[in-house]
Amino acid sequence: MQRCPNCRARYRDGEICPRCGMELSRLLQIENRLRTLEQIAVRSLLVKDFYLAEIILRRALKLQATPMVHSLLKFTRQQKRRRLKGKLSTHYG
């Protein structure tokens, strides 16, 4: 988090905005969870587990629709389609 979502003050450290007093701990937890899900999705992609990556990225999307999550989800779906086309051409070639 770079800024307080309430007053837009720069975020430094801590769970309370020094300017407006807004409680930020829940937002910080969500942000940390999002980063963890992104890391798990990337690891899944590295081992070509596209189905798991998509499940994880859909969970991440529910937390926050970041450009990173959208990009990874798009890539994952493209790879799943390619894999499916490859399997179909092998069987029905």
Q: Whole-angstrom Cα distance, residue 42 to residue 50? A: 10
Structural element, H or E, at residue 90:
helix 67-92
Q: What is the DSSP string of 39-62?
A: HHHHHHHHTT-HHHHHHHHHHHHH
- Quick one: average pLDDT of 28-34? 96
Least confident of 46-50, 73-77, 79-83, 87-91: 87-91
- Quick one: average pLDDT of 22-28? 95
Q: What is the reported pLDDT for 48? A: 95
Q: What is the reported pLDDT for 86? A: 79
CA distances from 83 to 42, 52, 75, 78, 93 (A): 18, 14, 12, 9, 14
Q: How confident is the model at residue 23 (pLDDT cuts 50, 70, 90)?
A: very high
| pLDDT of 78 over the 80 cut | yes
| pLDDT of 93 over the 90 cut | no
Token pair of 75 as six digits: 């890539």
Q: Where are the domains of the chain?
A: 25-92
